[in-house]
């Protein structure tokens, strides 16, 4: 554990070192420890109205879009997402502003003695449990009225499920994190359905077996449910522009047209979820003007998700003339990989260089099979995470596809090598941790020195 500095407190780096030290505990689902930790600091989760967001894909985009809508409607709004790309402070925002480093340090110092009491009791709180408490304390201390809270893993036993939300959202359900949530879509859907609360409305875009599980739970708990695909229908109006697109949505109140800032056809479904959520909140009496909804969808940002950079080649490899397009996407499961593949087809990217790397616990082979066959060349890299996959495994999987493949020591080296090899279009895809590394190179920003595994 980091030692205090001379003033008797921590520096930001020392506070993060203490927090990241908790990652040695791994992921341990359950609510008991986080409930005790929150009770020790006055149960800040009761100080604001919450919207709880679960799902396999899209929950980060939905969280950011909905938070932007609420902010533009004049409500002081908090949001939590994970993991972060460049800096820890990305995980907690109030009215679009990241939590200040000084507040991270101060709140972690506030939590430390209570966490260590649980340590001594043999129930040490995990990294994510402490981050959850930090977020709720920040929301309370900054006067947040509404918070959009993304689950970390699953739902039923996720640390965020201590909330008593006014609305729940389950974006969709697919295979991911099977070692924690179950081997089938139905089993995973049951875990996600655990965020539902009796009588509290729920919005979902789930389909098939997952939707059947969610409907059964909604009936058992008498939860009013709005379903994208049944109550809300997306009509795509034009091919995606850059960076976003437009859509027409058929909703119970009629037809509406929206412009989206987030790229990709799959964002239409996410936007429909947000519109359904706004309709449900309005029924509860929350004021959300139509202009706030339109402006929120038009201006929301979610870095590392189909994010495009147009940059000079010399930024990647000094001395090279010309420019290059780089598309960065943290598509870290097969459903996300499929969405990226479709987006590349729509944009007619058929001879791109692929920079890819994964955490070893992901279904990476299926993702590589989606992207590599249409690539000009593949650059396999490790990611800055203890769970990184050896890039040589990726190379072995690509070689039978008759696509040139090379390994590189990191994202920066792979981007430079792709630029020197004549690439005009580069796709960086795989882990969100890889997306963060690439964004640091492409934007000229620094990655925070301390990086963890979650």
pLDDT of the residue at 121: 95
Question: What pLDDT score does 6 carry?
Answer: 38
Helix (H, G, I), strand (E, B) or coil at 227: strand
The model's pLDDT over 266-287, given as tens digits with 9 standing for 90+, comes to 899 999 999 999 999 999 999 9
105-161 pLDDT, tens digit per residue, is 999 999 999 999 999 999 999 999 999 999 999 999 999 999 999 999 889 999 999
pLDDT at 26 over 90: no
The more confidently predicted of residues 3 and 114 is 114
Asked if pLDDT for residue 3 goes beyond 50, the answer is no
CATH, domain 307-443, list 3.90.550.10, 3.90.190.20, 1.10.287.1260, 3.40.50.300? 3.90.190.20
CA nearest 398: which of 428, 368, 423?
368
* pLDDT-based confidence at residue 449 (cuts at 50, 70, 90): confident
Mean pLDDT of 229-234: 96
Residue 138, pLDDT score: 98
Distance CA 390, CA 399 (A): 15
- Of the candidates 317, 330, 313, the one whose C-alpha atom is nearest the C-alpha of residue 439 is 330
- Domain parsing of the chain, residue ranges: 12-299, 307-443
Q: Measure the CA angle with vertex 170, ends 165 and 172; round to 5°.
A: 170
Cβ neighbors of 99 (< 8 A, separation 6 or more) are: 89, 91, 92, 93, 138
120 vs 30, 117, 123, 159, 419, CA distance in Å?
A: 18, 5, 7, 20, 53
Q: Does domain 12-299 have CATH number 3.40.1190.10?
A: yes
354: nearest Cα among 421, 293, 258, 259: 421
Q: What share of the chain is helix, strand, coil (3-state, %, to 5)?
A: 45, 20, 35
Q: Identify the pLDDT of residue 179.
A: 65
- Does residue 1 have a pLDDT over 50? no
Greater confidence (106 vs 346) lies with: 106
Location of structure tokens 């409500």: 75
pLDDT for 237: 59
pLDDT at 43 (0 to 100): 98
Rounded Cα gap, residues 403 and 264, in angstroms:
26
Virtual torsion, Cα 26, 30, 36, 38, nearest 10 deg: 80
Prediction pTM value:
0.92
**pLDDT, position 243:** 58
Read off the tokens for 329: 């996407």
Q: Give the tens place of pLDDT for each residue, 310-338.
A: 999 999 999 999 999 999 998 878 888 98
In sign, the C-alpha dihedral spanning 370, 314, 417, 434 is negative
Distance CA 230, CA 269 (A): 12
The pLDDT tens digits of the residues spanning 372-393 come to: 999 999 999 999 888 899 999 9
* Interval 156-209: pLDDT, tens: 999 999 999 999 999 999 876 666 677 798 999 999 999 999 999 999 999 999
pLDDT digits (tens, 9 = 90+) for 427-438: 999 988 999 999
End-to-end CA distance of the chain: 19
For residue 452, is pLDDT > 80? Answer: no
Bridge-based pairing of strands 77-80 and 425-430 is: unpaired
């Amino acid at each position: 554990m980091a030692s205090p500095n001379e003033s008797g407190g921590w520096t930001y780096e020392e506070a993060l070192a203490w927090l990241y030290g908790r990652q040695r505990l791994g992921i341990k689902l359950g609510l008991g420890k986080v409930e005790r930790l929150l009770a020790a600091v006055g149960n800040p989760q009761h100080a604001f109205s919450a919207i709880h967001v679960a799902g396999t894909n899209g929950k980060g985009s939905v969280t950011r879009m909905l938070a932007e809508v609420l902010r533009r409607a004049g409500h002081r709004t908090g949001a939590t997402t994970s993991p972060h790309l460049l800096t820890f402070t990305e995980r907690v925002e109030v009215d679009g502003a990241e939590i200040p480093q000084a507040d991270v340090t101060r709140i972690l110092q506030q939590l430390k003695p209570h966490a260590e009491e649980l340590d001594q009791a043999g129930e040490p709180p995990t990294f994510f449990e402490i981050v959850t408490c930090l977020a709720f304390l920040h929301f309370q201390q900054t006067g947040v009225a509404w918070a959009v809270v993304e689950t970390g893993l699953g739902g039923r036993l996720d640390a965020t499920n201590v909330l008593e939300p006014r609305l729940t959202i389950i974006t969709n359900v697919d295979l991911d994190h099977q070692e924690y949530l179950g081997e089938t879509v139905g089993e995973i859907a049951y875990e996600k359905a655990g965020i539902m609360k009796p009588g509290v409305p729920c919005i979902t875009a789930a389909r098939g077996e997952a939707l059947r599980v969610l409907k059964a739970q909604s009936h058992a708990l008498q939860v009013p449910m709005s379903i994208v695909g049944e109550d809300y229908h997306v009509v795509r109006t034009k091919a995606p522009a850059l960076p976003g697109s437009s859509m027409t949505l058929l909703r119970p109140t009629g037809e509406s047209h929206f412009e989206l800032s987030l790229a990709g056809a799959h964002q239409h479904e996410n936007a429909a979820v947000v519109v359904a959520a706004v309709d449900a909140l309005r029924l509860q009496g929350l004021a959300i003007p139509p202009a706030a909804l339109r402006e929120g969808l038009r201006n929301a940002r979610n870095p590392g998700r189909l994010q495009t950079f147009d940059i000079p080649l010399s930024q990647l490899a000094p001395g090279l003339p010309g420019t290059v397009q780089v598309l960065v996407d943290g598509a870290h499961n097969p459903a996300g990989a499929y969405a990226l593949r479709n987006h590349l087809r729509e944009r007619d990217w058929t001879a791109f260089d692929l920079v890819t790397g994964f955490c070893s616990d992901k279904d990476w082979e299926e993702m590589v099979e989606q992207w590599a066959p249409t690539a000009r060349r593949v650059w396999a890299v490790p990611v800055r995470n203890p769970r990184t996959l050896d890039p040589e495994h990726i190379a072995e999987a690509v070689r039978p596809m008759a696509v040139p493949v090379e390994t590189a020591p990191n994202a920066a080296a792979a981007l430079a090598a792709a630029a020197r090899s004549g690439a005009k279009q580069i796709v960086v895809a795989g882990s969100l941790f890889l997306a963060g590394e690439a964004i640091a190179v492409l934007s000229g920003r620094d990655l925070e020195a301390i990086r963890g595994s979650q």
